Amino acid sequence: MSEIDEVVYLDALLTPNRSLSPRGFAIIMSVVGVVSFISGMAFLSMGAFPVVGFFGLDALAIYFAFRWSFRHQREQTRITITAKSVHLFHRKADGSERRVELPSGFARVELDEPLEPTSWLRIEHGRTAYVIGRFLTLPERKSLSIAIRAALIQARSERYLA
């Protein structure tokens, strides 16, 4: 069987949950801008002109907090499992990438139980562990660990059928 004909048992792309759509962001920032402007004008009419600048700074801080959050949502991890190997591809939010290939016959999946916020999902090979899906919720980590284990079992069984 050539690499082109290789059966893929799992091909998962993991990305953080998106908290707000671009349209929602525009709506929120419009509301914040209008409220800041109206409140600033109210304080300006009372003679408290320095307060207007603070309302502007608040709106700017909210804008940058959302942009920072959106930048961190660009992180992604791809897991591909075939009979020969487990391919891990991780792109950080800053754009840096890392690729790893492990033999599927010796890769194992570990998830500490009972599930706690520090229970990381790991794919291990020898003494090396790769933490995946840090941004996933606990039930999502559990579900993914079950899916990866099932895919590894199927991939290993193909090696013995040939």
Return the CATH number at 148. Answer: 2.30.29.30
Is the same domain home to 11 and 85? Answer: yes
Is the same domain home to 145 and 65? Answer: no
Is the same domain home to 148 and 80? Answer: yes
Residues 132 and 53: their CA atoms lie apart, in Å, by 43
**pTM summary value:** 0.73
Domain final position from 51, 72, 93:
72
Would you state the pLDDT for residue 71? 84
Would you state the pLDDT for residue 116? 86
Is the same domain home to 81 and 139? Answer: yes
Is the same domain home to 155 and 131? Answer: yes
Tokens standing for residue 28: 């929120």
The domain tally of the chain equals 2
Is the same domain home to 10 and 68? Answer: no
DSSP annotation of 20: S
What's the number of CA atoms in the CB half-sphere (13 Å) around residue 128? 8
Is the same domain home to 93 and 66? Answer: no
Going 133 to 135 to 138 to 139, the CA torsion angle's sign is negative
Domain that holds residue 91: 3-16+75-161
Is the same domain home to 59 and 39? Answer: yes
Residues 81 and 154: their CA atoms lie apart, in Å, by 10
Confidence of residue 162 (pLDDT cuts 50, 70, 90): low
Confidence of residue 159 (pLDDT cuts 50, 70, 90): low
**Phi, psi (degrees; rounded to nearest 5) at 81:** -120, 125
Would you state the pLDDT for residue 161? 63
What pLDDT, in 10s, does the model give residues 18-77? 778 889 999 999 999 999 999 999 988 998 888 888 888 999 999 999 988 888 888 899
